[in-house]
A = this chain, B = another copy of it.
Amino acid sequence: MLVLGIDPGTAVTGYGLVRQQGSRLTLVGCGGIRTAARQPAPDKLRTIYEALLELMGRYRPACAAVESLFFARNVRSALTLGQARGVALLAAVQRGLPIFEYAPREVKAAVTGYGSAEKEQVRGMVTRLLRLPDLPASLDATDALALAICHCHGAGGGQGRRLLASRRGVRAGRAAWRALKVP
């Protein structure tokens, strides 16, 4: 099973692809989708959306894992983060991927055994669990890889994961939208 972890952000959206075969986890790819600071917000969103669509089309992961509605410093940064998360979810649902979400504590606990682990500790364990010679080249991808690993661990035991959108939901749940009102 190939799992895509996504860590949305306006400046950098991290992604990590992890294959699970039995208890063995392998890194398939990881990196960051970077936007230029000078780009207007809608163009950044388009860059993120199209890069994720391309990634999903190229690697055909079985599912996607994202952080559950996360904590933001303030309302303004929450709005900006929400925009990036919105186009990431849109890309996944358009590719028909089931989407799972995990709380930050769950991710840390799944990777390090400790829900309040520091970033360094998470990074170290991601490296060990994926048997990498070194820390992931792209630090942007650490959280995304941790998310993918968290899903692989949970997918065995089934505990702690929450389904945000299933394949069936994608097909069945489409709401009709009101016809235009032209007086």
Chain A residues at the B interface, C-beta cutoff of 8 Å: 27-36, 38-47, 49, 51, 55, 69-72, 74-76, 78-87, 89-90, 92-94, 99, 132-133, 136-138, 141, 163-166, 169-170, 173-175, 177-183
With A75-B74, A82-B83: A42-B89 Cβ-Cβ less than 8 Å: yes
With A75-B75, A169-B40: A138-B47 Cβ-Cβ less than 8 Å: no
Chain B hits for A180, CB < 8 A: 29-31, 55
Q: Which of B42, B71, B89, B183 contacts A45 (CB 8 A)?
A: B89
Measured between alpha carbons, how far is A136 from B41 in the docked complex, in Å? Answer: 31
Closest Cβ of chain B to A134, distance in Å, is 8
Measured between alpha carbons, how far is A43 from B170 in the docked complex, in Å? Answer: 6
Q: Is the CB of A89 within 8 A of B41?
A: yes
Measured between alpha carbons, how far is A34 from B174 in the docked complex, in Å? Answer: 11
Q: Is the CB of A165 within 8 A of B86?
A: no
Kindly report which residue of chain B lies nearest to residue A92, judged by CB atoms.
B42
